[in-house]
Chain A
Amino acid sequence: MNPAGSIVFFTTASGAGYGLLYWLGLLRPLGLIPGDPWFGLVALGLALLLITVGLLSSLAHLGHPERAWRAISQWRSSWLSREGVAALLTYLPAVLFGIGLLGDIPALAAPMGLLAATSAMVTVYSTGMIYASLKPIRQWHHPLVVPGYLMLAAFSGAALLAMLAAFWGNGAVPAVLALLTGAGGVLLKTAYWRGIDTQPPEATAESATGLGQIGKVRPLDPPHTQTNYLLREMGFRIARKHAAKLRRIVLAAGFGLPMLLALLALLTGGAAAMALLTIGAVLALGGLLVERWLMFAEATHTVTLYYTGT
């Protein structure tokens, strides 16, 4: 599948934003992160900035961005519509959470924080389901795709929260969470990659044409000599050549190094922790950009059975 830049950026940025909002809303009422209202406001501001920039970027993917408002209407059947509804609804408790922080009203901030956290998780779940519900793309129609989306959002959110909390002198809890979700991410991604590498394709050129009753089916003449929308969008093949290398980059730069830096930050604390966790958060986001790109580039669509037989 063609990795559209706007979508790759959207899932990375908004995913991290929702992850940050999730941990902020959850940990603040529990008193596990700095209680300073300004810390809360800065973290909330960063979360909403990432979410909003990501959502706006996803509009660039549309043929008619000005009609995007229509996308919230079909929540009964469409995961994309549900994602849109959840994304917009999340702003409501998030803004009320901000008002609670600004006015220092714990009775408002605590429940709205929890509601925003839940809503953020629902949004990321819906994003994952958009991909997981597509049967023709076996690498997306996989049971580990949705857990992957949730885990990666939690990991990048925890890395960002740890960075901010370090500047307020106490990044220990989110740093531990970044370590745990990072480890979870490594396990999930390696299991997912092993899964898609060994999983036999559900459909074949024989079933796609129904000519299997004669024998093995091979494409002879394509219907057109030049490319077309289908081949550009669903026949993308550049990355598979470099898949193994890119996977190692994701594991090392996206997960390994940020986890190592978080561990060092836990041991050193203070100003060193600020620097270490900042580098860690940037690396995590960079690694996730590569991972999201790979997620598209490695995915294959059944329409290519008609063109290449595989």
Chain B
Amino acid sequence: MTCLPEIKPGQKKLGLVIDLDTCVGCQACATNCKEWNTSGHSAPLPDFHPYSAGAEGVWFNRVHSFEAGEGEQGRTVHFPRSCLHCEQPACVTVCPTGASYKREEDGIVLVNHDTCIGCGLCAWACPYGAREMDEDAGVMKKCTLCIDRIYNETIPEERRIPACVATCPTQARHFGDLGDPESAVSKLVRERGGYDLMPEMGYKPVNKYLPPRKRATVQAKPVEDAPTSMDIKNPLLRWMDRVLTR
């Protein structure tokens, strides 16, 4: 059913909080995501021409890098991009078959690969590019928030978190219930001023991004590299430099 579930107060909203201050752009989250999901709920995630020019495939997580600001205020920011499990996901409501759906119990947006007709309309409807067509199987695939890990009772409890969160070496990724104002992730969002991507689209993403922290002080300007006497090849000029420097 592609109509959205009614949002009740205190609704569980599982999602990610991504810290752009600490993300180092190492691509570990993307790699572990691919590794887990190519044999999990959405398996396989195909690759085309994997060992030759034009290699490409289905990934649920893509890590971009941006430059923001100019001069001393300028920053390089690494930016992981994946499904935001929106509260108003048009990718779900445009689906003609009901294959795309938002779970009532935790808000996770999923695709039923047995009923998806592969029309691609949901990918058009997502402003964030979170959905990628599996052109091998002819169905749409997307981030499942590792639904096959977070509820998996056959793995130790501490590992019941999404693969991208588990693997992040700088703990730039956090997982939890953003519908509960007292959860650790909700507190983190409040403390650090977490925000929505493209709020003007009106999709109300559940995932939040934490902005890079402001620098405490503006760093001193680099000192211009003055030539030393050893840089001057001409003996006469070197002697003059030594005399004048004295």
Contacts and interface: CB of A to CB of B under 8 A. Distances in A.
Interface stretch (A180-188, A227-235, A280-288): A227-235
Nearest to B53: A226
B116 A227 contact: no
Given A74-B98, A133-B94, A223-B30, A1 B124 contact: yes
Interface string A40-78: 000000000000000000000111110110111110111
Interface stretch (B170-178, B179-187, B199-207, B229-237): B199-207
Contacts of A218: 66-68
Given A218-B66, A302-B127, A208 B56 contact: no
B44 interface: no
Given A80-B121, A208-B197, A209-B66, A63 B139 contact: yes
B63 interface: yes
A173 to B, nearest CB: 37
Contacts, number: 215
A80 B77 contact: no
Contact of A226 (B56, B69, B115): B56
Contacts of B137: 63
Interface string A130-167: 10011111000000000000000000000000000000
B189 interface: no
B83 interface: no
B75 interface: yes
B69 A216 contact: yes
Contacts of B59: 223-224, 228
A223 B211 CA distance: 20
A72 B117 CA distance: 12
Interface in B53-109: 53-59, 62-70, 73-77, 79, 81, 90, 92-99
Given A228-B56, A230-B129, A234-B129, A64 B116 contact: yes
Contact of B93 (A78, A215, A307): A78
Interface in A188-241: 202-203, 205, 207-224, 226-230, 233-234
A205 B67 CA distance: 11
A77 B199 contact: no
Contact of A62 (B53, B119, B123): B119
A306 interface: yes
A217 B66 contact: yes
A71 B68 contact: no
A227 B133 contact: no
Contacts of A254: none
Contacts of A292: none
Given A70-B96, A70-B98, A301-B124, A77 B3 contact: yes
Contacts of B40: none
Contact of B127 (A135, A212, A224, A226): A135
B95 A78 contact: yes
A79 interface: yes
A303 interface: yes
Nearest to B121: A80
A60 B219 CA distance: 59
Contact of A71 (B58, B119, B211): B119
A217 to B, nearest CB: 5
A230 B132 contact: yes
A127 interface: no
Contacts of B57: 228
A227 B56 contact: yes
Nearest to A215: B69
Given A135-B90, A234-B124, A302-B198, A211 B96 contact: no
B2 A77 contact: yes
A74 B124 contact: no
Contacts of A73: 96-98
Given A130-B121, A215-B69, A219-B66, 4 more contacts: A77-B3, A80-B94, A80-B96, A136-B127
14 contacts: A62-B119, A77-B2, A78-B95, A134-B94, A134-B125, A209-B68, A219-B66, A222-B64, A223-B27, A230-B123, A233-B120, A233-B133, A302-B127, A303-B128
